[in-house]
Each structure stands twice: as structure tokens, then as C-alpha cells.
Structure 1
Amino acid sequence: MHIEPISEANLRILTELALALWPDCSFEEEYEYYKRMIGSNTEVCYLVKVQEDYVGLIQLSLRTEHVEGTTTSPVAYVEGIYVKPEYRKRGIGKQLITFGESWAKQKGCTEYASDVELPNTKSIAFHQKAGFEEVNRIVCFAKKLL
């Protein structure tokens, strides 16, 4: 297993993996988003490669606004984590979380956070197994203004 940072060389496969995580997004928008991320000091993606197959990703950011359950700033934030279904239950996700922790410490962070939608019980269980502690649950609302 090898973990590598986002680059021009892996941008297309990164976008494909991201679309597996967020299927409602468009390839073109995500591709451009990740292209702009290359070289950023506050956002990064890492991909996991097993032999010749890219099998997962972790997207991290430094958040300076309020992060639920934290008291410092910036906070390292897991914006997304994904492992292909056929590679799950092998410790790859946990290794990505640990890799993200190292990145966070290098950036001077003392807190690490993430979020999961309430119905995603598998991801909630994964985060708990990875050492995250649930700090809050919310329901978000929106209203169209006419």
C-alpha cells in the first residue's frame, strides 16, 4: 500500500474516486475543484494505491471557523474519506485517518474533526473505531425565499 498526494498525474482517478463518494457531483466541477487544490496550504487530498490500483482517498482541510466540539484553531478536518468496497475491512481507512493525523500535527493542529450524515451508520461506526468521539448531532433546515 502506498499513499500519495494529489497531483496532475492522479487528478482524473482522484475525481473518479470522489464521485464514488459524492455521486451527485459532476466530473467536470470536481476535476476543476481538485485541480485548484494542487499546491494549497490549507486543503489536500491523498490517494491510496494497492499494487497498481487506486483504492481510496482522504480529503483534508484546515478550518479556521468554528468546528463543533473543538476549542482551537485551526482544526484539521476530514472533508471526505473513501475506500472502494472491495478493499474495505483491511485497515486502509484507518491508515488514511492516521496519515491525516500526521498531516494535522505537521500543520500545528491539536484537534482533528470530521462529520457524517445521520443515516450513514457505517461511516459513524468507522469514525468511532478510528478514535473519533461523537460531539453533537444536528438537523439542518432550508427555506426557499420567494
Structure 2
Amino acid sequence: MVRHDTFTISRHLDVLPGEVFTAFADSTIRQRWFRLPGSGASYEHDFRVGGGETARSTFTGLDTAPERLEYRSRYIDIAGTHRIVYGYEAVVDDDLRWTSLVTVQLDPEADGTRLHWTEQVAFVRYTEDGSADLAHLRGGCVLRLNGLDAALRSGHPRQHRR
């Protein structure tokens, strides 16, 4: 049985939408905030409609065997500097765990950008009863967006006032 969920995370960023967009588009900046957990990570990124990203790493948790992680995405829509839509797959040890459709919307605000991250996920394999999977995915997105904010602040240390 496939389990479906949707969530949205909104946050303010202290830079203009074009700078946030560049943090998604520029592979060098992107690797500062988009990371798979674990070691031996590799990344390939082609930011264009029809392009995508592949990332791989090996994660070893406490008292667990190493897991091979893989992330595969494809960009579906890139609308100027205000919207990015892409789909991705999360694979653990060669088993598809979930797939998602993500919409990132970047709206200008007087003092920066309002980012809206909406993710529609289909869990095809659960962890135990599946009750913690959405919280795990949402928490990972929050951590990733924290990394985005840090990467943007490191490029503009005087602009960040929070």
C-alpha cells in the first residue's frame, strides 16, 4: 500500500529572490546546503527543465549496518527566479522508499524573500509501521532549508539580522 502525504514549509530569507534562486541553480553554492548524510558522497547537477540531480552516499547510524543512499531528481518547471518544480526519488540500499513532487516558490518581501516549499510525497516502503516517515522527511527538509539559509548568510553576512 502506498501512503500519501503533503506538507508546506514557509520561511523568510534575508536576500532577494534571485539570490535564493541562484543557490538552487549554481552547483557550487547548492553543494554547500544540499547534502546527503553519510560519507563518500557524490553529486551531479544539471539545472534545466529535463535535467536533474543525482546524489549518492553511505550512511552508518549508531548500531546499524551501513546504508547506501541515493537521491535522483528531474526538473519539471523552472519559471524565472520565482518557481522551481521537480520530482525526486529517495532510494535506500537499491529499494525505492519514497518519491515526491516539490514546488519551491520564491516571493519577494520588503526585506528579502518568502520561500514556500510544498512537497507531495508517496511512501512506497515504510519504516516499521510508517508513522515516523513523514516527520523524518519533514525534519530533513527543515535541516536542508537551515543549510540554505546558512549558505545565503555566508555570502551576505551583514544582511542577515536574525
Judge same fold: TM > 0.5, yes or no: no
**TM-score, length of structure 1 as denominator length:** 0.36
**TM-score, length of structure 2 as denominator length:** 0.33
Say which structure is richer in strand. Answer: 2
Say which structure is richer in helix. Answer: 1
Higher relative contact order (CA 8 A, sep 6+): 2
